[in-house]
Chain A
Amino acid sequence: MTLTYLGWKLLRAVVTMWLVVTFVFFILRLTGDPVAQLLPDDVDQVTIDYYRKLWGLDQTIFVQYWNYFLALFQGDFGVSFRDNQDALQLVLARLPKTALLGLTALGFALLFGIPFGVLAALKKNTAFDRFVMGLAVFGFSMPNFFLGILLILGFSLQLRMLPSSGSETWLHMIMPVFTLGTSFGAQVARYTRSSMIDVLNRPYMRTADAKGAETSRRLYLHALPNAAIPVVTIVGLKVGELIGSAVITENVFAWPGIGRLLTSAVAMRDLAVVQCILMMIALTMVLSNLAVDLLYGWMDPRVRVGNREGANR
């Protein structure tokens, strides 16, 4: 059963990747000559001929499709406008900065979101709960580009405490991490709270409450992992949103990561880089979804025996 579950998940991951590749393949051909699109204008004829031959543009669309797959598998995404660099190399060079920003922001969001969500649930309907949840609504309604600008206005221009752009020191990280993590943390807090309340409302928790504080304290510890299950799912679902927000955050703070590379590549129509980043993000999404599914299956044994319908939830 576990194998079937795993099998479905892997199949879905492969299908998603296949759809992304197919999507890019067709959209490239919809808009003109892919070689012209994926190579810089000033590239020499030898390179153009090399890629024409490599992608077999004289052959049928099916052969082209197949060859496109092969090229991608070998990490060949084309050549960037920038110094005629290999697109993959360019993207990989930026990856660590984005990973650093993204993972720190994720950690920040979980570090604040989960404890505050749990506390709000335990103190349900008190002033504390209302305050935290009010803050959370503010947090996720705040567009991150505006939050970033406000932070720059306050801490860089007014107070002159923090640098507004770059990534050289840990001081550079404070504002981007806060900008990226706030909305996410607010959502984590909300989901943690509602999931925790849900668990606390289950009959066995109520019984424990009735039996006295000692029992109930011990059971709260059991409630936490149960409450974590939906939170994990939500975190997995929102990784895409986090990546989207990272693009904007990197722009606001001139953070030299993939997001900034992506927007400049989009503006310059540097398609080799764009398609490479797209594939990278797709792979990240697929892998993180897979990780969440596995984690979910491991945390909640009921899922493992469930059918595909149940596993999709």
Chain B
Amino acid sequence: MSFVPEAGATPAARGLVTRLVKAFRAMPWSVLMAVAVLLTVAFVTIFARFILPFEFDQMDLRARLAPPLPLEGSTWIHPLGTDKLGRDVFSRLLIATQTSMLLALLGTLFGAVLGTVLGFVAAHFGKWVDEAISTLVDFQAAMPWFIIALAVLAFMGNSMIVFLFLMGLYGWERYARITRGLVLAAREEGYARAVHALGGKPATIYLRHVLPNILSPLIVQLTINFPETILFETSLSFLGLGIRPPMTSLGQMLGDGRDYMITAWWLAVVPGTVIFLTTLSMSIFGDWLRTRFDPSLQD
């Protein structure tokens, strides 16, 4: 455990670019690889529509279950092979990645914003507001959200809106808990009291002073939650309860491919590998961020 914050931790208002370059140079090769994977995934998420060789649901029944490239019988037309309906796996993979990443991103951000706001509200109002929010946090932390999600999908029916709602609520309680604790601590700190004594409104104190000062642990939490949200979506879709045909996501593709493990193993392995590489890269990158920017959370 290091007690000395590294250079990156000093909040000096130095040029962002020089700091980024410095951070980049200090990366170990594993983190560099992780960043490369994440950048690729981000690129695919943004530009999937433009690099798509086929429409993702375009069928070619004469070329069903074609194998991927190095294998015998593969073609350059379908570099990752085709599925049971002769759809191009590469194209499907691009769209599935886009769907899964956008959902995970939206879900993570929604949960982060909701949790952070509720954390501020709990810390600011205290008393019964705090009690109520803390009880909700305890409840959410006590029950596995995956199970709750399954139950809600059963009760409310399997609709896209319910699914999005469940994604958005995933993990909010962690931000709420962290924010509440940090705000309570920051309020005891001199600078928040000092701005209060200068005549600052609570909103000014929270937004201009407290939030920027507690941002780094929240960002660290974001990097922890993002891969978990990916897994949340892909798990539900894998079970056939999240994204369902005609739409596709990485989990849905994997769940689909499961039925062809004997004849066409790549249908499961290709999307599974993408999920694994993404969550792995995010974990490696998140670990690196954490040790670098948040010495208090360091191993």
C-alpha gap A300/B135 in the complex (Å) = 25
A140-B283, A278-B147 known; A150 vs B269 contact (CB < 8 Å) = yes
B155 at the A/B interface (Cβ < 8 Å)?
yes
C-alpha gap A184/B179 in the complex (Å) = 27
A31-B157, A143-B276, A145-B254 known; A16 vs B139 contact (CB < 8 Å) = yes
**Closest B residue to A201 using CB positions:** B1
Check B155–A28 contact: CB distance below 8 A: yes
Least Cβ–Cβ distance between B201 and chain A, in angstroms:
28
A175 at the A/B interface (Cβ < 8 Å)?
no
Check B155–A271 contact: CB distance below 8 A: yes
Query: Restricting to B138-163, which residues have a CB under 8 Å from any CB of A?
Result: 138-139, 141-148, 150-157
Prevailing SS type, chain B contact patch:
helix
A153 at the A/B interface (Cβ < 8 Å)?
yes
Check A248–B238 contact: CB distance below 8 A: yes
A267 at the A/B interface (Cβ < 8 Å)?
yes
**Closest B residue to A137 using CB positions:** B283
Of the residues A28, A146, A289, contact of B275 by C-beta under 8 Å: A146
Least Cβ–Cβ distance between B82 and chain A, in angstroms:
19
Prevailing SS type, chain A contact patch:
helix
Q: How large is the interface on B (under 10, 10 to 19, 20 to 34, 35 or more residues)?
A: 35 or more
A31-B157, A201-B1, A243-B144 known; A267 vs B269 contact (CB < 8 Å) = no
Name the segment of A19-27, A94-102, A107-115, A215-223 touching the other chain.
A19-27
Least Cβ–Cβ distance between A10 and chain B, in angstroms:
14
Of the residues B30, B262, B299, contact of A197 by C-beta under 8 Å: B299
Of the residues A193, A248, A271, contact of B235 by C-beta under 8 Å: A248
- The 9 A-B residue pairs whose C-beta atoms are closest, nearest first, are A240-B144, A244-B146, A146-B272, A141-B280, A266-B154, A194-B299, A141-B279, A244-B144, A274-B154
A residues adjacent to B (C-beta < 8 A): 12, 15-16, 19-20, 24, 27-28, 30-31, 37, 134, 137-138, 140-143, 145-146, 149-150, 152-153, 157, 190, 193-194, 197-198, 201, 237, 240-241, 243-244, 247-248, 251-252, 262-263, 265-267, 269-271, 274-275, 277-278, 281-282, 285-286, 289
User: Besides A190-B299, A243-B144, A278-B148, 5 other CB < 8 A contacts?
Assistant: A31-B156, A150-B272, A240-B147, A274-B151, A286-B142
B residues adjacent to A (C-beta < 8 A): 1, 30, 135, 138-139, 141-148, 150-157, 227, 231, 234-235, 238-241, 251, 254-255, 258, 261-262, 265, 268-269, 272-273, 275-276, 279-280, 282-284, 287, 299
